[in-house]
Amino acid sequence: MDEKTPIIEVENLSKTFGLLPVLRSVNFGVARGETIVLLGQNGGGKSTLLRLLAGLSKPTAGLIRIGGWQMPKEAMEVRRQIGLVSHQSLLYGNLSARENLDFFGKLYGMAKDERAERIRVILDQVGLAKRADSLARDFSRGMQQRLSIARALLHQPEILLLDEPFTGLDQSAAERLEGLVMSAQREERTLIMTTHQLGRAPTLAGRALILSRGQIAFDGNIARMSAASLGELYAGLCGGATVA
Amino acid sequence: MKTPFRTAVLAIVSKDLRAEIRSRELLSVMAIFAFLCILVFSFALELDRVAREEAISGVLWVTLVFASLLGFNRSLAQEGDQGNLDAMLLAPVSRPAIFLGKLLSNYLFTLIVALVILPLMTVIYNSNLLRGWLIVTTVVGVFGFSSIGTLLAMMTLHTRSREAMLPIAMLPVALPLLLTAVRASTNLLNDSPTREWLVWLQLLAAVTVIYLALCWLLSGFVLEE
- What per-residue confidence (pLDDT) applies to A4? 59
Burial of A50 (0-12, 13-18, 19+ CB in 10 A): buried
With beta carbons under 8 A apart, name residues in chain A contacting B87: 84, 90-91, 104, 151
- B28 contacts chain A (CB < 8 A): no
d(CA A178, CA A203): 9
CB contact under 8 A, B18 and A54: no
Give the number of residues written for chain A: 244
How far apart are alpha carbons A177 and A173 in whole angstroms? 6
A89 touches chain B (CB under 8 A): yes
CB spacing of B82 vs A90 below 8 angstroms: yes
Looking at the predicted structure, is the pLDDT value of residue A131 above 50?
yes
Chain B residue closest in CA terms to A106 = B11
Q: Where are the strands (E) in A51-175, listed by range?
A: 61-66, 69-71, 82-85, 159-163
Positive or negative, the CA dihedral A49, A51, A55, A56 is negative
- Residues A81-97 have a mean pLDDT of 92
DSSP A235: H
Q: Which amino acid is at A179?
A: G
With H, G, I as helix, E, B as strand and everything else as coil, classify residue A238. helix
Q: What is the average pLDDT across A217-235? A: 85
Searching chain B, which residue's CA lies closest to the CA of residue A52? B225
User: Is the CB of A106 less than 8 angstroms away from the CB of B7?
Assistant: yes
Give the pLDDT mean for A44-52.
92
Of A57, A103, A109, nearest to B92 by CB-CB distance is A109
CA distances from B33 to A226, B16, B64, B210 (A): 61, 21, 10, 29
What proportion of chain A, given as a percentage, has pLDDT over 90? Answer: 57
Let me know how many helices (H) and strands (E) chain B has, helices first: 10, 0
Indicate yes or no: CB of A91 within 8 angstroms of CB of B78.
no
Query: CB–CB of A13/A26 below 8 Å?
Result: yes
The whole-number pLDDT of residue A153 equals: 92
Residue from A174, A180, A185 nearest A207 by CA:
A185
The answer to whether the CB atoms of B89 and A56 lie below 8 A apart is yes
Highest mean pLDDT pick, A14-23, A69-78, B196-205: B196-205
Tell me which residue in B1, B18, B93 faces A95 most closely, judged by beta carbons.
B18
Q: Please, which pLDDT band fits residue A74 given cuts at 50, 70 and 90?
A: confident
Across the interface, which of B8, B11, B91 has its CB nearest the CB of A79? Answer: B91
pLDDT of residue A202: 84
The minimal CB distance from A90 to the residues B3, B87, B94 is found for B87
Which segments within chain A are labelled E, that is strand? Answer: 8-17, 20-30, 35-40, 61-66, 69-71, 82-85, 159-163, 190-194, 207-212, 215-221
User: What is the reported pLDDT for A240?
Assistant: 60
Distance of CA B42 to the CA centre of its chain: 22
B150, B208, B157: which is closest to B179 by C-alpha?
A: B208
Domain ranges of chain A: 8-90+158-238
Residues of B in contact with A99 (CB under 8 A): 15, 18
**Which of B82, B86, B92 minimises the CB distance to A108?**
B92
Q: Are A193 and A204 in contact (CB under 8 A)?
A: yes
Residues in chain B with CB shorter than 8 Å from the CB of A112 are none
Q: According to the 3-state scheme, what is the secondary structure of B38-52? A: HHHHHHHCCCCHHHH
**Among the partner residues A89, A93, A95, nearest to B15 by beta-carbon distance:** A95
The pLDDT of residue A227 is above 90: no
DSSP β-ladder status, A61-66 and A8-17: antiparallel
Are the C-beta atoms of residues A98 and A132 closer than 8 Å to each other?
Answer: yes
- Of the candidates B221, B187, B156, the one whose C-alpha atom is nearest the C-alpha of residue A58 is B221
Please, are residues A42 and A211 in contact by the beta-carbon 8 Å criterion?
Answer: no
| Dist CA B137 CA B131 (whole Å) | 10
Does the pLDDT at position A243 exceed 70? no
CA distance B102 to chain A (A): 14
Which residues on chain B are in Cβ contact (under 8 Å) with A107?
A: 3, 8, 11, 88, 91-93
* Local structure of A57: helix, strand or coil: coil
10-residue stretch averages of pLDDT, chain B, 225 residues long: 92 96 92 94 83 88 95 91 90 95 97 95 91 95 96 89 88 94 94 93 97 94 82
Chain B contact for A235 (CB, 8 A cutoff) = no
Q: How many domains are contained in chain B? A: 1
Chain A from 169 to 228: CB within 8 A of any B CB = none
Q: Do A80 and B92 touch (CB under 8 A)?
A: yes
Residue in chain B closest to A77 (alpha carbons) equals B1
Report pLDDT for A3: 53
pLDDT one-digit tens code per residue, A163-210: 988 887 888 878 888 888 888 888 889 999 998 888 888 888 889 999
Q: Which value does ipTM take for this structure?
A: 0.90
Residue A244 has pLDDT above 60, yes or no: no
User: If one looks up domain A8-90+158-238 in CATH, what number appears?
Assistant: 3.40.50.300
Q: What is the pLDDT of residue A233?
A: 85
What pLDDT score was predicted for residue B225?
A: 64
**Domain that residue B102 falls in:** 5-223
Chain A nearest-CA residue for B20: A94
